[in-house]
Amino acid sequence: MCVAGRASDFVESLLDKSKGDVAIDYRGGDDLIRRQLKEAAGDKPVKFALDAISEHNSHIKIAAVLGAASKITFVLPGIDSSALLEGVEENVTWVASVHGDNSAERDLASSLSSSSPASGGGLAQRPPLQGYTGRTALDNLKEGKASGFKYVLRIAETAGLKR
């Protein structure tokens, strides 16, 4: 299960619905997110969750499907975990920690990346968009038009840039 927004079409392209993968659009509101998470989980317990947002009470929506013996990791510290059931193990996964040696987070990231489409798995990185000027990219970011992709900018090639 994953929750996405404007990048839902891209996310859907990465999923294998025959294996139970499902994308839930967060733009439907909190109640709909919780209901769809519960429907997607069915009678199976959700044991692990990665809250890749860790803002706007995203963990409360996830808490709706976590059991008491589950684990959740956040990407930001300081989450108010009072909405989680007692017994849910919490962790913060720092981006840098997945690149270090002897790290459980690194092992998880490694196992996920080894299941990429190139190796017959189901995860992939969206190719970056190239050919945008810094100004256009910045405007798109400010206007909320950048979703589900990355820009690759060559600052030295920016028109009007003086060295």
* pLDDT one-digit tens code per residue, 64-81: 888 888 999 888 888 888
Ranges of each domain in the chain = 2-93, 127-163
By C-alpha distance, which of 54, 14, 16, 58 is closest to 33?
58
Q: Above pLDDT 90, what percent of the chain?
A: 4
By C-alpha distance, which of 150, 148, 141 is closest to 2?
148
Q: What is the pTM of this model?
A: 0.64
Structure tokens at 148: 């589900």
* pLDDT one-digit tens code per residue, 122-148: 445 566 666 677 778 888 888 888 777
- Regarding the domain delimited by 2-93, which CATH topology (the fold level of the hierarchy) does it fall under? Rossmann fold (3.40.50)
Cα(19)–Cα(15) distance, integer angstroms: 9
Q: Are 112 and 104 in contact (CB under 8 A)?
A: no
By C-alpha distance, which of 23, 55, 56 is closest to 39?
23
* Inter-CA distances, 138 with 7, 22, 49, 131, Å: 19, 32, 32, 13
